[in-house]
Structure 1
């Protein structure tokens, strides 16, 4: 759990304080055996063994009842003593590690300053990895493109990626993570992006940011940085209200840069004319539409990505590609090569003819909404929506989860499967308040759900797994 909290001592101790029954804590992720993790693991066991050795030794050093009392006190408090001593060791290791990390990050910053590639930075509460992968896939058929791997979006993660660069790349794409105010600003100072993409602002990480305004301000540190460079532009998801409102403030400031370009289901909106979407369709095979510019030239988009919410990111990739002078047929081929990414609306067929859509990495309100909207369009299957709910919703936890229940009730979904924890009762309440006609199925843990649910399914069923409840939450 210490590793799952990224060695954040405060978060680790907070988790320890929250857990009421450690027997019910699910251990679905294994320890990644880094040098730091292995060292702390060894320290923890040695501290634990030492505590018990002292407890046993106390039986010889003291006499009578006193020896038994000392033994019991040490025995009972050994786990807590180990915990806090381990936290102290983590603090000391972090103190040594941070200066080393700063050196690595500064080297990466210097390397990027001398790198001539066009740099694209992607920030937002959701959809960053998907946006990054779509842009990369569309551009890499014509350009030498490199992008941060998986969801590596911290200063150190980006610095490690920069270490691997050859130096002859033409396009560099960076996913930028935000957890606290100033995070995006720090990443911009390392990367120095030329193009920004803001995928949207919602309640993700509200537990840390406390309010949406602070979240938006942090994400729009990307636009603030771009305003200091000539020739920059930023794509903003117009369907995210908080993002659109923040972008409007940029326009009101009348700064020459960045140029603000809106995107969404309708296409692209920019000062020189709009790119409109026509004939949009989505099903279990993918998404298709035509993107036409003001000259009535059309890009035919055929993608294996699922859901109409993919239109905006596909349109952004098309627009960037055209601005780089990539030929139409190359763009269309790149779009055709886009496919579902791991754990993000990723379909697979299980034994018995059951279709599973793995959406376990889309743990945010917008991700839930688009997943439900997609299921609403599927009429020829019995649909299961499986979720443990969302984490880090802060003071909006109840409101967000009741709204999920409401949206599910309005879709006509046949089965809602809930994993019992601190938030899923709010989903059930939302379902009841909106007269849900289907069946609610409860499981005590995700592991129980995975093992038992196949017994309830039949051929042609559709199961959508939405979000994955992290081990370090209860």
Structure 2
């Protein structure tokens, strides 16, 4: 009943438009969320609607549709002599909010087909033409995780002695990349692209736009499995980059089992153990950063970075090797890696006035990344808190993935595990107790409540890891 009556709340149309916006106007994602909603008054939790001409127009169209649907029911009652017209008319009026939640997709689809798609086609066409004439080395990064971090590491290291450009934020779709291409001056020596993949064919489509010279596969796991349905489709989609490159250089993360198992003889493996005949020695990582020595042909190169965790060694080593491939000197490489630092919401450290260290890893939402940061957290001294709402889009693997997170936390002997109640965190708790966890599990109804409580339950010297975010569309 609560769900039914929430459809008559004044915020209902706004809620539908917010759901469309948060779903990036993808009908499949919107409908999946629509069928999971328990109360339309509270779909805006972590975020709020971002008002624009598009959202204002959709709210207006939604209101007009609702009035039209209800009016048709009223017309049926008043102006016709159909049998059961009172029942049918009343049913249409009562069900008009439900009908609206589906019919609101119609004008959106029309706008996309008649206006948005043609405009996007023109933008992408001219971007592809401009990029084809660009003489810079084009590097493409694909993978289930670690793409943005890899892009930023490469950009920082290569920028030490080269003109380097890369799309900002997570611009990894054909339209986003095309808008970035429009800003290029033409004097860039290196261009770095992140390839977004949600469905089969996505990587191939982006490769045709970019025509990369060098590729990187950062790893493959269950991230976005809800969309891909099977891990085999995930592998095939990401390896579309390898298919496109052919004999061109492709680096593959050797620490990712799925990526490694599908690598070909001509691919270059990288890991914390080494890359392209470079060997890693004297690796160390703490809250001040990460350091190691790369050695090749008895010539050492010391690498230091503010990035946290031993899992950063592989990407740093790759950037050093790729920089050498492009002509950078060891001194430029050392200077470039020294400038690398944690990115926002990706294991970014901060210390508050009470002496509590917070590691913000809220943009890390994949199983391999979680395993890596738990290992890093386990290496630190102090009372440790692990705060998480779990991971999204794990599909059929969600129970298995979250149980394993619980087991990892128990094995790492993390003192406090703070869980936000939803459909997956109970599996983390089950995994904890499967490994005879002896610490404390603390539950909160909402993530914001857990954040508000942390200052009351932490003291000087504590370390708090904030793992992943939980968007409003996931239950």
TM-score (norm 1): 0.91
1:80 and 2:98 aligned: yes
For residues 360 and 378 of structure 1, the distance between their equivalents in structure 2, rounded to whole angstroms, comes to: 19
Cα separation, partners in 2 of 1:433 and 1:23, compared to 1, 3 Å: farther
Superposed displacement of residue 459, structure 1: 1.8
Where do 1:159-174 residues align within 5 Å? Answer: 159-174=178-193
Superposed displacement of residue 29, structure 1: 2.0
Count of aligned pairs between the two proteins: 454
Superposed displacement of residue 67, structure 1: 10
Partner of 2:437: 436
For residues 53 and 88 of structure 1, the distance between their equivalents in structure 2, rounded to whole angstroms, comes to: 19
Structure 1 residue ranges without an equivalent (≥5): 252-258
Partner of 1:238: 254
RMSD: 2.1
For residues 429 and 290 of structure 2, the distance between their equivalents in structure 1, rounded to whole angstroms, comes to: 32
Cα separation, partners in 2 of 1:302 and 1:48, compared to 1, 3 Å: same
Partner of 1:401: 402
For residues 462 and 163 of structure 1, the distance between their equivalents in structure 2, rounded to whole angstroms, comes to: 44
What is the aligned counterpart of 2:355 among 344, 353, 356? 353
Where do 1:134-213 residues align within 5 Å? Answer: 134-213=153-232
1:287 and 2:306 aligned: no
For residues 165 and 34 of structure 1, the distance between their equivalents in structure 2, rounded to whole angstroms, comes to: 27
1:265 and 2:272 aligned: yes
What is the aligned counterpart of 2:335 among 330, 333, 336? 333
Q: Tell me, yes or no, if the aligned pair for 2:386 and 2:466 is still in contact at 8 Å.
A: yes
For residues 85 and 349 of structure 2, the distance between their equivalents in structure 1, rounded to whole angstroms, comes to: 62
Of 338-347 and 27-36, the range deviating more from structure 2? 27-36
Partner of 2:317: 315
Superposed displacement of residue 57, structure 1: 8.6
Superposed displacement of residue 217, structure 1: 1.1
Cα separation, partners in 2 of 1:25 and 1:418, compared to 1, 3 Å: farther
Cα separation, partners in 2 of 1:266 and 1:169, compared to 1, 3 Å: same
Q: Tell me, yes or no, if the aligned pair for 2:74 and 2:90 is still in contact at 8 Å.
A: no
Partner of 1:461: 462
Q: Tell me, yes or no, if the aligned pair for 2:200 and 2:237 is still in contact at 8 Å.
A: yes
Partner of 1:471: 472
For residues 351 and 24 of structure 1, the distance between their equivalents in structure 2, rounded to whole angstroms, comes to: 34
1:42 and 2:42 aligned: no
What is the aligned counterpart of 1:276 among 274, 279, 285? 279
Partner of 2:12: none
Residue deviations 1:244-268 (CA, integer Å, cap 9, x gap): 1110xx32xxxxxxx4111001120
For residues 388 and 267 of structure 1, the distance between their equivalents in structure 2, rounded to whole angstroms, comes to: 34
Q: Tell me, yes or no, if the aligned pair for 1:179 and 1:205 is still in contact at 8 Å.
A: yes
SS in 2 for 1:3: helix
What is the aligned counterpart of 1:219 among 228, 238, 244? 238
Superposed displacement of residue 430, structure 1: 0.5
Structure 2 residue ranges without an equivalent (≥5): 1-18
Superposed displacement of residue 82, structure 1: 2.0
Partner of 1:95: 113
SS in 1 for 2:437: coil
Superposed displacement of residue 384, structure 1: 0.8
Residue deviations 1:24-56 (CA, integer Å, cap 9, x gap): 535222333444333223322443455567778
For residues 196 and 33 of structure 1, the distance between their equivalents in structure 2, rounded to whole angstroms, comes to: 38
For residues 473 and 429 of structure 1, the distance between their equivalents in structure 2, rounded to whole angstroms, comes to: 21
Cα separation, partners in 2 of 1:26 and 1:164, compared to 1, 3 Å: same
For residues 353 and 56 of structure 1, the distance between their equivalents in structure 2, rounded to whole angstroms, comes to: 65
Q: Tell me, yes or no, if the aligned pair for 1:9 and 1:90 is still in contact at 8 Å.
A: no
Residue deviations 1:280-336 (CA, integer Å, cap 9, x gap): 00001110111111x222221110001000000000110111111112111111100
For residues 169 and 279 of structure 1, the distance between their equivalents in structure 2, rounded to whole angstroms, comes to: 36
Q: Stretches of 4+ moved more than 6 A in 1?
A: 52-62, 66-71
Partner of 2:6: none
For residues 60 and 211 of structure 1, the distance between their equivalents in structure 2, rounded to whole angstroms, comes to: 53
